[in-house]
A and B are shown apart, each in its own frame.
Chain A
Amino acid sequence: MSYTCPFCFTLVDLKNTWFQCSIPSCSQPDELRTRFEQDLQPQQQIPSNVKIIQYHTTFQGNNQHGGVCPKCHRNTTIRVCPSCHSEFPPNIENLSNVIFAVVGARSTGKSHYIAVLINQLKRLYNKFNWSLCALGDETIDLYRRKFYEPLYMQHIRLKQTQGAAADADVKKPLIYSLELYRDNNTKSVVLAFFDSAGEDLTSVQNISKVNRYIAHASGIILLLDPLQISSIRQKVKSNDMPVAEIAHCQNHIIEFLVNFIKSRRRNTESIPLAITFSKIDLLNGLFAEEYGRFETPVQHHKHVINLNEIEGNSDFIKNWLDNEGAECIQAGRRFDSRFFGVSALGKDPKKDNNGNLIIPGGPQPMHVEDPFLWLLYKNDLIQGK
């Protein structure tokens, strides 16, 4: 039995379990942990200017369920990853890991999307008969502080995400356990959401250093900003119009991603890729004029996603983009891909008295769950019809 560490993606044999002493005063200088936090390769030496951090005593246990700390001789049941010493969720024997990567260029709305998606998944508990629980205090704190409070309480936009090298919070995944209640049994999966700064996705080297999770992802949500496509940009008016990035930036990211995943995995065609256009609410006017679609959410039935509608939406967006001459859609051919249109905020932000943008009433998301549900379907976690 094995388990992939959601932090360092090492495949851990659960028979060979490592434990961490539960007493905080029982600690030791931890080179492995330092290496992990410094993103160092195993063969790399720890640089002289890096302090080896003091961390909980870790040791190999005698059995799967518990061990006695060799230092303080106390029992512990906290299981950790042998290669990065990160704490595992308590019932990993019954869990399978599903890592979802949300990637995209700068200011395509990755953070907003993740923030709204997690909240939306919690709301869908009844429709899909599941429950979503944060694993660990860090996830709760991180989500509350970085995503929920600004967006849902203060109704302001999220701050720019800093590079993973500079901000250790960015490296940490948001880890949730999703329990799916079926007729006969209950299935649990660990969902790891990685938010990332667009700046970290600008070279294969960078991706492989700080965004290794992409290679281990069970599904990728590639966020694209339609406002970066010049033909669309001209037709849309927004208070939050992003700066026209250097034209090929968005396309480059797709190429980097493809190259990176191809270098790590043999069969890219099996990886589900949800090519998702964000800020779709801004295009609603365009759609209404030309196609009259997208105003109503996809009607999913209980426990089952509506594949017809998802496929229909995907074809619609693909065709529409084809007409607009967007190059980015060609990336989809390398993967098992569908096209989605979402809007995390659901409306254009407004300016307050100071000229700052605010979201009156908070986010009113459109279709944000669709790419995620499709990825779940592709991972055989829910059914489609």
Chain B
Amino acid sequence: MSSNIIQTGVMQWKYTSCEFNIEGRSGFSTFSMSDGLTAEDKDDLIKFAGGYNTPDGLPPQPVTEAELDLFPIIFSSFQLCSGKRVICRTRYVGKDYAGQRFGNLFSHALILPERTAWNFYPIQLWDNTRYSLLWADGLTEEEQHLGHMPEPLPLVDITKEQLRYFNSDCLDLLDNEERFEWFKSLLASVRDAKSNKGIILREIPDEIAKWIAAVQLTLPIFASQEISFSTYCRSANTAQQFNIAGTCLDGHSFHFGSPNLAMQFFQFDIVAGTVDIHDNANCRFAKLLLRYEHPSEELQRRYEFAKKYNIVINPFDNSLDSLLLLYDFFVQPSSPLDNAEWSTMWKTYQTLPRQTQQQILTDAAGENDFFILRGDTVSINRWGSKPQERLKVAVPFFERLIYNSPIKSAFTSWVLQQFNDNRKSREFCSMFANLQHKAEYTAIWLQNNNTQDKELFNLFFKIICSLPQESQGQLIKIFDNFIIRQFLSPLSVTEQLQKSHSTDIDNQKKISIYEVEKLFCADEKWKQFGKQLLKFSVKQLKPETLMFHFYLLLAIQDEELIEEHFKYIRRVICGLERTQIKVFYESVLPTAISRADSPQKHARLINLFPDSEQQIDFNEFASYYISIITQETRNWINGEDAKPQATAFLQYVFSQKLIFNRWISINDVHNGQVIPFQSQFVSLFWIPRNKEGYVECSATRIGESNKSRQDKSNQCKAYRNKIANVLKKTDANAEMKRVFYSRIGLIILNRTWWKNPYIVIVISVILTVVVISIVLTLVFLRKSKPETNTQEPPKQTAPDSQQESVAPDAKQENPHAPSTQPKPADTPKPLPKQENPHAQSTQPKPADTSNTTVPNEQKPVTTSEQEQPKNTNH
């Protein structure tokens, strides 16, 4: 029995209207309480739990138990000023001790000593039934007729049997999409309710307890006690004392939906289905309830997780949610995160100290875990009869911890082994300390699976060991900086490249061809090792290792290997992802081309350009070749013999029918050092206005020049002279020309002149001037015509004006009249017979507005009819 006690030494307090009590006066007062409660505690308890306002509409004078049970019990949890925690049940008991007056209540509170907390959720003591073992329903007969002051109440123990477990209730409650949405809002509001605004819940009394339980179960036990609640309040005055207050269906004084109530409360009128949907409703927090049979224990585990890694959690802000995400991600991978959750988790993870990050990661991967890199994601898999995927994360996450390829793991394991054994550099030890056990595992895994790798690294080991000890450290550093890091975070470098467009790369992180050359060409041993490495890695050639492989290949300069491996490289490029393709063509290949010192090498490299089968839009990467092209072109123009590579290069470029216009616009964006070359290039291809035609033409010329030497040299000479002439001009003020072409030349050539506001304005001004002058001349001409024609219309209008002066609406009609007057002036000759009736008909129209409904066919008839009376008037 004693093992079931969950809380001991709980104090009690009972309050009702009674004759004998510790106050020594009858009426509402504290009947008795346990020793340990102070007078201030007592007053505080009365404030929170000494009142009961009955709902309207219930029997005014309830006597029977059935009648009294209609009155909702008040189950509340709160804290006193002294910090003591209280759980209280208040019941409406109707008559008082004198037996005649109604309005009596009975409150029974359980109070913890200071600085102690409940070992369970306060709502778990909810019990609205009578004759409960824990809660008193009222004073006993004996207590009512004591005849003397009551004794202090004894301390009580709370057993597990007295607790109610709401887990299944909560599941039932929230097993409804709408309700679950409300619940998320409720949870979000609870966090806000810790400030000023409370929450008011209108629901069936028993259901209110379930809602509160659901809220509490999403919090750890200690935090749940920070939320005060009461299951029934009649009015806002009492409800505002609590974070969450319930109210009954009817008979309360809350006007749900009113702005005054909204000022003080988040309203959850569950019965009516009107709920204040919170903007920041959070689901991970709420999902706990639905996912686990014992959510509180799950929550506890998460808190232990936070404690272990010193993660500070405030249960009432987003940090709890972040914790849940972290935990779910690292420890409970069975509950996958969606994208938004992942980014939240990732942000949280980034805010943790570096050591904690590594620790979490190290702990997250178990003894049997291994990593696999696929595309942009790394997955941690668990080794077993059938490997199970446990985590899946984006690459940057595992910056330093990827063991996707045997080379990486072997390098790392070797570095670790060396430095942990010899303790040469403490820095390295600490850096790789966390990697160690996984590295070891990987090494074991390698041993079991791939003997070839083992041989390779034995060789590597021998090379390093043969070097003097001082340079070992140096070498390892190089390895760390340029090889291991490169292997471990290939895509992070990719990202940087994208950002900096190969102009401003952090040399610390980017492996460069120079470094590879320096390392592998330094010694015959290294060269040997490099060859082996190439042979080995070509079979496992992957996008991530492509760059290193490519550089190594160029550095070793073994023709056979290059011939063979370029095939593979080409194939790998086809399978590359977009960003990787970009890096390759934007950075890797241009560098390699610029480093090539023989025509053969150039030609080979140019072979790596994408062909039409590869479905790669080369235009996108074209801008990165401009510098090379122009450099080559300059050499060529400057009078040297045409280099085959340049020819081949240009031939290729032209065969692709690249749109140079686009190149230039790209280069305009990032100016820098490329400009002088670019301007030459621009002049080279842009001076002839039909640019595409010229490019094609020059391409064919060069293409032909390959066929016969004579032709080639002649054409080249001619072409060279042409270019040289141009260059003479352009060299002087290339910049100015560039500006000129881009401002005016391009506008016209691109046929977008109408987009230029200046041109549009100028043209429009000219047009208006022309139009005005035409109009003026016309007017002048008209005036100079004989006056006899113009005298006739006034004769016709004179009687009209007489008519109009009789008509009441005469003034309104006048505006019409002048518009019709010039018409006879325009057509003076065919005056009377056919057209004039129409012209005149517009004048009397307003007077005959009633005739507007007359069909069109009849119009001529009416006008002639109208004319007749006019004529008679004359």
Contacts and interface: CB of A to CB of B under 8 A. Distances in A.
Contact of B102 (A24, A141, A145, A159): A159
The winner among A56, A157, A168 for most chain B CB atoms within 10 A is A168
B53 A169 contact: yes
Contacts of B96: 160
A363 interface: no
Interface string A23-66: 11101010000000110000000011111111110000000000
A56 B260 CA distance: 9
B748 interface: no
A165 B47 contact: yes
A382 interface: no
B197 interface: yes
B103 interface: yes
Interface string B768-804: 0000000000000000000000000000000000000
A202 B27 CA distance: 11
A203 to B, nearest CB: 10
Contacts of B253: 141
Given A49-B79, A51-B198, A160-B28, A37 B237 contact: yes
B28 A56 contact: no
B80 interface: yes
Contact of A29 (B47, B51, B196): B196
A382 B51 CA distance: 40
Nearest to B84: A49
A167 B19 CA distance: 21
A160 B101 contact: yes
B63 to A, nearest CB: 6
Interface in B47-82: 47, 49-54, 56, 60-61, 63, 78-81
B261 to A, nearest CB: 8
B263 interface: yes
B761 interface: no
A48 B226 CA distance: 11
B80 A162 contact: no
A243 B235 contact: no
Given A25-B262, A52-B196, A54-B196, A198 B47 contact: no
B633 interface: no
Nearest to B95: A356
Nearest to B80: A49
Interface string A11-29: 0000000000001110101
B818 interface: no
Contacts of A168: 51, 235, 237-238
A157 B19 CA distance: 20
Contacts of A50: 81, 241
Contacts of B56: 145
Contacts of B52: 162
Interface string B236-264: 01101111000000000100001110111
A51 B236 CA distance: 13
B26 interface: yes
Contact of B53 (A23, A48, A56, A167): A167
B196 A199 contact: no
A106 B46 contact: no
Interface size range on B against A: 35 or more
Query: Which interface class (under 10, 10 to 19, 20 to 34, 35 or more) fits A?
Result: 35 or more
A246 B24 CA distance: 9
A242 B27 CA distance: 12
Contacts of B81: 47-50
Contact of A107 (B44, B53, B101, B197): B101
Nearest to A349: B100
Contact of A162 (B25, B28, B196): B28
Contacts of B23: 202
A364 interface: no
A129 interface: no
B101 A157 contact: yes
Interface in A229-251: 240, 242-243, 245-246, 249
Contacts of A197: 27-28
A307 interface: no
A271 B258 CA distance: 44
Nearest to A29: B196
A243 B26 contact: yes
A160 B103 contact: yes
A166 B51 contact: yes
B29 interface: yes
B483 to A, nearest CB: 60
A169 B236 CA distance: 11
Contact of A199 (B19, B25, B103): B25
Nearest to B242: A51
B111 to A, nearest CB: 13
A356 B196 contact: no
Contacts of B100: 157, 240, 357
B98 interface: yes
A21 B662 CA distance: 62
Given A51-B196, A51-B243, A169-B235, A24 B259 contact: yes
Nearest to B78: A49
Contact of B98 (A25, A48, A145, A243): A243
Nearest to A240: B100
A94 interface: no
A332 interface: no
A150 interface: yes
Most buried by A among B27, B237, B253, B259: B27
Contact of A356 (B47, B63, B262): B63
A37 B147 CA distance: 37
Nearest to A56: B263
A226 B51 CA distance: 29
A156 interface: yes
B102 A249 contact: no
A24 B26 contact: no
B371 interface: no
A108 B39 CA distance: 27
A354 interface: yes
B162 interface: no
Contacts of B50: 162-163, 165-166
A167 B26 contact: no
B104 A160 contact: yes
A53 B196 contact: yes
Interface in B409-432: none
Given A48-B83, A160-B103, A165-B50, A53 B264 contact: yes
A299 interface: no
A107 to B, nearest CB: 7
A51 B244 CA distance: 12
B97 interface: yes
B240 A51 contact: yes
A154 interface: yes
Contacts of B587: none
Interface in A285-301: none
Contacts of B196: 29, 51-54
A160 B53 CA distance: 11
Contact of B26 (A47, A156, A165, A246): A246
B53 A199 contact: no
A163 B104 contact: no
Q: Which 6 A-B pairs have the closest CB atoms?
A: A159-B103, A166-B51, A166-B50, A24-B259, A168-B237, A47-B81
10 contacts: A25-B263, A47-B81, A50-B81, A55-B263, A159-B102, A162-B28, A162-B51, A166-B46, A168-B235, A246-B25
Given A51-B242, A163-B51, A166-B28, 12 more contacts: A48-B83, A49-B228, A50-B241, A51-B243, A160-B17, A160-B27, A169-B237, A198-B27, A199-B27, A202-B23, A356-B61, A356-B63
Interface of A: 23-25, 27, 29, 37-38, 47-56, 106-107, 141, 145, 150, 154, 156-163, 165-169, 197-199, 202, 240, 242-243, 245-246, 249, 354-357
Interface of B: 17, 19, 23-29, 43-44, 46-47, 49-54, 56, 60-61, 63, 78-81, 83, 96-98, 100-105, 195-198, 228, 235, 237-238, 240-243, 253, 258-260, 262-264
